[in-house]
Amino acid sequence: MDVRKDFPILAGNDLAFLDSAASSQKPEMVIQAMDAMLRSGYANVHRGAYRLSAEATDAYEAARAKVARFIGAASPAEVIFTRGTTTSMNMLAAKWGGDRLVAGDNVVLSVMEHHANLVPWQFLKGVELRFTRLTADFALDLDSLAELVDERTRIVSITGMSNVLGTITPVHRIREIADRVGATVIVDGAQLVPHLPVDVGDLGADFLAFSAHKMLGPTGIGVLWGRPALLEEMEPFEGGGEMIDEVGLYESTWAPVPHKFEAGTPPIVEAIGLGAAVDYLTNLGMDSVRKHDVELTGYALERLASVPAVTVYGPTDLEIRGGTISFTLADIHPHDLSTILDENGVAVRAGHHCARPLMDHLGIPATARASFSVYSSVDEVDRLIDGLAVAAELFDIGN
């Protein structure tokens, strides 16, 4: 995929940037769209009767429509702009969970969840949390899920693609199991949406959360998609301007969906940036994005397998994994590995990747993680492998 020229930061830097799962770089198209909005199109939205505000509102709502088309939503009203996946998950835990669940109900997660799909559920008092296990090949263990789901299960909330292992989960199968007891299915799509074609009409989820900054867009904005009937039923998360219909001193009524979930001035410029990111990805084609990930991941796994004492934590089957590769090298702590790779011009993440319980489950304190985006290259993978050789030498491994 010959797109590196579209990313100014890559042109001006010889760093092998292998940390796109944490946050991706931005193409010129996104930078220019946000710049143009700030220079000539900016005003607050859904407020002023003057022309500039009306145009800003149109641009903001057009971005919503782009996102809706990108994920196959039937209507833009199904797309709520939030601050990001974390806010989307907190909203769901509080309003779809906290408002509706009672003591003794349970929520089923998995052991590989990001803290954003774990900690918000821990806020629910008296609600039991259950954790789906993994198979030996780091896939979601559907037998384990089926055992955990019972008549008190109200919500099944699971990542679409693990930010540590790269594991892609079978949402259709999760849906079938949840349907046996009428539980809601929530998908944390922070890693899924940037990397695979997603059609919410076919996904099998009731709610889908994702962030712009991991899909070539800006920080500060994300999405909560939900089935219309569920969004109607769910109460607002925050009160304030824009989310209201009638306001009195003691009570108020809410604006229609999606605006009842968007209190206060929204991230307007960021929405424009997300719209441009969606345009960029649509131009590439999400099938091509997926193909690039699979090819590069296959190459990286093959090269990593040739390095003595490397252990990869994640599926070997490319069909059920994305371009996020966690690994360790002998007894070198991942932080040391990260420092050594950084000195050799390779940026990887080291640590627990906001998935501490998964590290405990795997019985390791941390991993190093290389993760790809559309601009990632074979050359960068080669430089990672070269950097690992330097690390092995420094730590006297294999001698």
Partner 1 sequence: MAVGLDNLYKEVILDHYRNPRNRAGLSEVDRHADGNNPLCGDKVAVDLALDGDIVSQIAITGQGCSISQASASLMSEAIKGKSFEEIARLRQLFTTMMTSEEPIVDPDRPGAVLGEIEALAGVKAFPVRIKCASLPWATLDVAISGAADRVTTD
* Contact positions vs partner 1 (CB under 8 A): 331-336, 339-340, 343-344, 350-352, 356, 359, 365-366, 390, 393-396
The residue (of 146 and 330) whose beta carbon lies closer to partner 1 is 330
Per the residue annotation, which of 354, 359, 368, 374 is the catalytic one? Answer: 354
Catalytic residue flag (residue 354): yes
As given in the structure block, the two tokens for residue 65 are 């429509």
For partner 1, the closer of residues 184 and 338 by Cβ is 338
Q: Tell me how far, at minimum, the Cβ of 107 lies from partner 1, in Å.
A: 25
* Bridge pairing between strands 367-371 and 128-132: unpaired
Phi and psi angles of residue 326, each rounded to the nearest 5 degrees, phi first: -95, 140
C-beta of 97: minimal distance to partner 1 in Å?
26
Give the length of the chain: 399
Contacts of 51 (CB under 8 A, 6+ apart): none
For the CB of residue 293, give the shortest distance to partner 1 in the complex, in Å.
28
Beta strand 222-226 with 244-247: parallel, antiparallel or unpaired? unpaired
Give the CA radius of gyration of the chain: 22
Give the residue from 168, 173, 218 showing the smallest Cα distance to 193: 168
User: Which is it for the CA torsion 286, 287, 288, 289, positive or negative?
Assistant: positive
* 270, 219 Cβ separation under 8 angstroms: yes
CA distances from 157 to 69, 189, 288, 319 (A): 24, 11, 28, 22
Minimum CB separation of residue 160 from partner 1 in Å reads: 26
Q: How many CA atoms lie within 13 A of 138 on its CB side?
A: 27
What are the residue numbers of the active site? 354
